[in-house]
Amino acid sequence: MSKIIRIGTRDSKLAMWQAKTVQSLLEKLGHKTVLVPIKSTGDIVLDKPLYELGITGIFTKTLDIAMLNEDIDIAVHSLKDVPTQLPKGIVQAAVIKRGNVNDTLVYKNNEEFLSAKDAIVATGSLRRRAQWLNRYPTHTVVGLRGNVNSRLEKLESNDWNAAIFAAAGIGRLNIKPENAINLHWMIPAPAQGAVMITALESDEEIRTICAEINHEETEICTTIERKFLRQLEGGCTAPIGALAYIKNEEVNFKGILLSKDGSKKIEVSKVVPLGEHSDIGEFCADYIIGKGGKTLMDQLQRGDRNTNIYSTKKLTDGQLQLFHNNVVADSNDAIKISLNRIPKSVVRKEIENVIITSKNGVEALLHNFAPAELQFKNIYCVGRRTKRMIEKRIGNVKHIEANAKKLAEHLVEYMEGAEVTYFCSDLRLDDLPNILVENNITVNEVEAYQTKYNADKVESNLDGVMFYSPSTVESYLKQNKASGIAFCIGETTAKVANQFFEDVRIAKVPTVESVIELVNENYV
The string of DSSP letters for 125-145 reads -HHHHHHHHHHSTTSEEE---
Q: What is the pLDDT of residues 400-415, one digit of tens each?
A: 998 888 999 999 999 9
Burial 124-156 (b: 16+ CB within 10 A, else e): bbbbbbbbbbbebeebebeebbebbeebbebbe
As a whole number of angstroms, the distance between CA 73 and CA 138 comes to 49
Mean pLDDT to the nearest integer, 171-177: 88
As a whole number of angstroms, the distance between CA 460 and CA 482 comes to 13
Q: Would you kindly state where each structural domain of the chain is located, as residue ranges?
A: 1-96+190-214, 103-183, 216-303, 305-334+454-521, 338-453
SS3 104: strand
Residue type at position 263: S
Mean pLDDT to the nearest integer, 489-498: 91
81 is catalytic: yes
**Is 186 within 8 Å of 162 (Cβ atoms)?**
no
Does 234 score more than 80 pLDDT?
no
As a whole number of angstroms, the distance between CA 129 and CA 486 comes to 37
Note the pLDDT of residue 299: 73
Note the pLDDT of residue 304: 58
Q: What is the pLDDT of residues 332-345, one digit of tens each?
A: 999 998 999 999 99
Cβ neighbours of residue 102 closer than 8 Å, sequence gap 6 or more: 167, 182, 183, 184, 186, 188, 193
DSSP 148-198: HHHHHHHHHHSS-SEEEEEHHHHHHTT---SSEEEETTSPPPTTTT-EEEE
Looking at 173-182, 361-370, 434-443, which range is the least confident one? 173-182
Task: Assess whether the region 103-183 and the region 338-453 belong to the same CATH fold.
Answer: no
Of 444, 447, 472, nearest in space to 365 by CA = 447
Mean pLDDT to the nearest integer, 356-376: 93
Cβ neighbours around 429 below 10 Å, total: 16
Q: Which CATH architecture has domain 103-183?
A: 3-Layer(aba) Sandwich (3.40)
Does 111 score more than 60 pLDDT?
yes
**Is 427 within 8 Å of 451 (Cβ atoms)?**
yes
Q: What is the pLDDT of residues 289-315, one digit of tens each?
A: 999 888 888 777 666 567 889 999 999
Q: Which one is predicted more confidently, 139 or 510?
A: 139
The DSSP 8-state label assigned to residue 101 in this structure reads -
**Is 151 within 8 Å of 13 (Cβ atoms)?**
no
The DSSP 8-state label assigned to residue 290 in this structure reads I
Note the pLDDT of residue 46: 45
Which residue is catalytic, options 81, 203, 430, 463? 81
As a whole number of angstroms, the distance between CA 134 and CA 364 comes to 35
As a whole number of angstroms, the distance between CA 73 and CA 420 comes to 87
Note the pLDDT of residue 54: 38
Does the global pTM surpass 0.75? no
Of 384, 389, 380, nearest in space to 411 by CA = 380
Tell me the CA distances in angstroms from 486 to 266, 357, 406, 495, 511, one per residue in order: 35, 22, 22, 11, 15
Burial 54-68 (b: 16+ CB within 10 A, else e): eeebbbbbbbbebbe
As a whole number of angstroms, the distance between CA 107 and CA 156 comes to 9
Confidence at 426, pLDDT banded by 50, 70, 90: confident
Does 506 score more than 70 pLDDT?
yes
Q: Which fold has domain 338-453?
A: Rossmann fold (3.40.50)
* CATH dotted code for 1-96+190-214: 3.40.190.10
Judge: domain 305-334+454-521, CATH 3.40.50.11540: no
Note the pLDDT of residue 479: 93
As a whole number of angstroms, the distance between CA 338 and CA 469 comes to 16
Note the pLDDT of residue 52: 46
Report residue 194: phi and psi, to 5°.
Answer: -105, 150
Does 436 score more than 90 pLDDT?
yes
As a whole number of angstroms, the distance between CA 291 and CA 269 comes to 13
Note the pLDDT of residue 311: 95
Of 123, 97, 119, nearest in space to 109 by CA = 119
**Is 106 within 8 Å of 166 (Cβ atoms)?**
no
- Quote the mean pLDDT of the chain: 89
* CATH dotted code for 216-303: 3.30.160.40
Mean pLDDT to the nearest integer, 105-124: 91
Note the pLDDT of residue 347: 87
Does 423 score more than 90 pLDDT?
yes
Confidence at 399, pLDDT banded by 50, 70, 90: very high
Q: What is the pLDDT of residues 18-64, one digit of tens each?
A: 999 999 999 999 999 999 998 755 444 445 554 443 334 555 778 88
Note the pLDDT of residue 1: 59
Note the pLDDT of residue 56: 45
